[in-house]
Amino acid sequence: MAGPPLNLVAIYPGSFDPITNGHLDLISRGSRLVSRLIVAVLRNEDKRPLFSVEERMEMLREAVGDYANVEVSSFDGLLVDFAAAQGANLIIRGIRAISDYEHELQMALMNRRLRPELETAFLMAGEAYSFISSRLVKQVVALGGDVTGLVPPLVAARLKGRYAVPTA
């Protein structure tokens, strides 16, 4: 099987607060399709993230360290502007359910309007990960639940530390 086209640079944007095994599945699959994959953390403080951008980038770097063609970055502002600055010609987005599609389609069409040469590819979530979201993972941990198998071990440890109940 031939490798990916030498000039295909993709961005996989998201908040990654925190990264889940569903995200890692998309990174693994996406990295096989392109010569360079940039996992880009959106700097959006309006969402009141649990982890800082720097912490999220650190967790991502640890989790994707085995992928030679994957790098981690961050951006604010328009994704199409970040993509242009990186020389990217593809955006990769994950779809878990039909409810994701409507929102993702709107964003893809707006991005196409703003930068017609930038394509968007939707990857379906793997069956094992189709129910996982960062929001749901945080809720489970906050309520004392176990997220083993849903997030990388390093993320699970950080989540437990963030939600640890202080002892009196």
Active site residues: 23, 47, 96, 134
Q: What whole-number distance in Å separates Cα of residue 108 and Cα of residue 15? A: 17
Closest CA to 44 of 4, 80, 6, 79: 79
d(CA 16, CA 51): 9
**Cα 145 to Cα 17, 50, 151, 160, distances in angstroms:** 17, 17, 13, 10
Taking the C-alpha atoms of residue 167 and residue 85, their distance in angstroms, rounded to an integer, is: 48
Q: Give the C-alpha separation, 129 to 75, whole Å.
A: 26
Coil/strand/helix, residue 95: strand
Other beta carbons within 10 angstroms of residue 168's beta carbon come to: 3
Q: Which residue, 118, 98, 162, is CA-closest to 13?
A: 118
